[in-house]
Amino acid sequence: MAGGGFVRLPDGSVVVALSLPSPAGEPAAGRVRVLVHSVNRQRALTRLRNLGLRSVYLRGNTEPPTPDEITAVLHHPEGLVWRGAPDDETESWHPIASLLRRAEPPRPAA
């Protein structure tokens, strides 16, 4: 379960923001802020589930994305970014692939 929220944009698409436990043990109490730009809320959550974040749900709209967060995700080519310190405005946003790489266990040498 995650805290988060969404904002509907003028073109009908949405930006969903979720605060999730970090799969890689990031700082800031082990939480990351994930932003997804998508056609609708269900599709945004499906994008995250397809990446391996299976237990992602959006219940309520308690932590909607800020205008700065909306700008960050709209300017990213994938429309899917994260930040390890949700309250630190100086940390930059990262592509979701970098978070998932950190979460993978090390592979044994062949």
pTM over 0.95: no
Cα separation, 9 vs 17, whole angstroms = 13
* CB contact set of 84 (below 8 Å; sequence gap of 6+): 22, 26, 27, 28, 32, 91, 94
Cα separation, 73 vs 70, whole angstroms = 5
Q: Which phi and psi (to 5°) does residue 95 adopt? A: -65, 150
| Per-residue pLDDT reduced to its tens digit, 18-77 | 988 776 554 545 778 899 999 999 999 999 888 887 778 888 888 899 999 999 999 988
Cα separation, 100 vs 97, whole angstroms = 5
